[in-house]
Amino acid sequence: MEITPIRTKKDYRAALRVVSKLVDQDPSPDTPAGEHLDVLSTLIEAYERKHYPIDLPDPVEAIKFRMEQAGLSIKDLEPMIGQANRVYEVLNYKRPLTLRMIRNLNKGLGISAQVLITDSANTPL
């Protein structure tokens, strides 16, 4: 098993081809092929994190997405945000999230606090 650093796009594409073949083989983790897959996956992940960073989602969009996933209504968010009019204000970018709301949404919906504290481009100053 030969493993080399991933420094260029060419290295990256080559590593992806090897990983694709290894995934198709579905090796056990404790085999040489499984260990090779694990190490290459880690190297690929580090390369992607550096060269293709993913921005955090908009906090309001994250709330809406979680609502849709869980089939929640405005009424379900009231204990976390406040009365229905306040929930609508937040979801329509008319009111920013407060620290209390962020804590409640993090606990109640399991949305990362890091996502919730991110500034939204649509939130008023």
Question: Helix (H, G, I), strand (E, B), or coil: what is residue 71?
Answer: coil
**Number of helices (H), then strands (E), in the chain:** 7, 0
- What's the whole-number average pLDDT of the chain? 92
**Topology of the domain covering 59-116:** 434 Repressor (Amino-terminal Domain) (1.10.260)
Domain borders along the chain are: 9-51, 59-116
Is-contact 116 102, C-beta < 8 A?
yes
pTM of the model: 0.61
d(CA 37, CA 28): 10
- 52-61 long-range contacts, Cβ below 8 Å, gap at least 24? 56/114, 56/115, 56/118, 57/115, 57/118, 58/118, 58/120, 58/121, 58/122, 59/97, 59/111, 59/115, 59/116, 59/117, 59/118, 59/120, 60/90, 60/91, 60/93, 60/120, 60/122, 60/123
Q: pLDDT, tens digit, for every residue of 22-61? A: 999 999 989 999 999 999 999 999 999 999 988 889 999 9
pLDDT for res 125 = 46
Q: pLDDT, tens digit, for every residue of 2-18? A: 788 999 999 999 999 99
In percent, how much of the chain has pLDDT > 90?
Answer: 83
Mean pLDDT value of segment 89-115? 96
Spatial CA neighbour of 91 closest among 121, 55, 64, 51: 64
Residue 122 has pLDDT above 90, yes or no: no
Residue 89 has pLDDT above 70, yes or no: yes
pLDDT for res 118 = 87
